[in-house]
Amino acid sequence: MTEPKRAPGGFPVVGVVGGGQLARMMQGPAIELGVQLSVLAEDEVASAALVIPSSPVGRHTELDHVLDFARSCDVVTFDHEHVPQHVLQALESEGIVMRPSRSALRFAQDKLAMRERLSELGIACPRWAVAREAAHVERFGEEVGWPVIVKTPRGGYDGKGVIVASSTADAESWLAHVGEPGPMSDGLLLEERVEFTRELAALVARSPSGQAAAWMVVETVQTRGICTEVLAPAPDLDPGLGSRATEAALRIAGELDVTGVLAVELFEVPGPAGRPGYVVNELAMRPHNSGHWSMDGAVTGQFEQHLRAVLDLPLGDPRPRARWTAMANVLGGDYPDLYSAYRHVMARDPSAKVHMYGKGVRPGRKLGHVNVSGTDLADARERARHAADYLQGAITQ
């Protein structure tokens, strides 16, 4: 087995499979901690490959590529959840240290497995069923009411892989793929359409020793299936709901033996006697868009915390540094020259924190984000939004 190339001082090498923006944002804290990152990148110009000197190019679906890469690292973690189980299994058999583990990751990779497990644990979920044929969709629609939400169990992101079906006919093109090798091989996930009041996320980190830390519950704002803003903490959150959501996230992390950051996406729903409740939408076992605010808004940001957790170091303090932090995503538009916007954005608002990912501009693609902290939520939100809109070319002043 290739020995990991440790830096002087005995600092370990953390390998990240996938060279996206999450791996890239881990590099700042890794540099500060003296930890070496290595990234298995899709190509030389992947977001993380541009800033991490050790970025071998390889595919996360190719066993040999992942195995060769993993052998040169002390611990392996992930930029996304798309590494196939058979690849993870081979790493596990070789004794490679993976955080999160293969068995935990399954519940972030496969929404059917996630629904089954969370239901077993008694965690509140939307009513759901598995569909292998049209009759299953028909029956579920009659039971919970149309429209129903149809999801591919694996491979979806940013709302790709979710359809709102008004009738069974809307699910037919996907039903045709059930049973074929691929994301729908085991069937489709059907969910009732939840009449939620808003979307929330509970973000926690857990280490192999079992230490855990929770950031405050945030509100996530989605536009056409893509997260565009995060408000930390979620404004006017019922305190009981905040603690129950945090407890649920910590319990999921413990029961599923998650190591690293776990994001639990939630829908807030009206509950009995006017008290709000929640149901879990999905899980991500890695730093998550809902935690980008923490890079500037918390004592310990999610990327540093993920590194501490996967290295089984004591976790950092997750408490906020400010009353409010608003995060706005910068999405690709028609305007390719992002840097030319810096002068205006920085001059207008010296306390806005801009984070860019070094990615090529494509419409709707997440290219960066802006964090603004302060004592007034409406003001912080407006300033973050303005900076992001200006960067993405949606406004010119």
Q: Where along the sequence are the contacts to ligand ADP (CB under 6 A)? A: 126, 149, 151, 156-162, 191, 193-194, 199, 222, 225, 265, 281-282
Nearer to ligand ADP, 74 or 81 (CB): 81
Nearer to ligand ADP, 157 or 348 (CB): 157
Closest CB 100 distance from ligand ADP, rounded Å: 17
Residue 344, phi then psi, degrees to nearest 5: -65, -50
Nearer to ligand ADP, 158 or 238 (CB): 158
Closest CB 201 distance from ligand ADP, rounded Å: 10
Nearer to ligand ADP, 50 or 194 (CB): 194
Q: Tokens standing for 312?
A: 């089984």
Residue 161, phi then psi, degrees to nearest 5: 100, 15
Residue 324, phi then psi, degrees to nearest 5: -130, 145
The C-alpha atoms of residue 228 and residue 364 are separated, in whole angstroms, by: 10
Closest CB 227 distance from ligand ADP, rounded Å: 8
Closest CB 313 distance from ligand ADP, rounded Å: 30
- Please list, in sequence order, all residues whose beta carbon lies within 8 angstroms of the beta carbon of residue 316, skipping any fewer than 6 positions away: 213, 299, 300, 304, 305, 308
Residue 271: beta bridge partners? none
Residue 157, phi then psi, degrees to nearest 5: -160, 155
Closest CB 158 distance from ligand ADP, rounded Å: 6
Nearer to ligand ADP, 223 or 243 (CB): 223
Closest CB 199 distance from ligand ADP, rounded Å: 6
* SS3 label, residue 305: helix
What amino acid is encoded at 186 in this protein? D
CA nearest neighbour of 154 among 225, 80, 257: 80
Nearer to ligand ADP, 37 or 258 (CB): 258
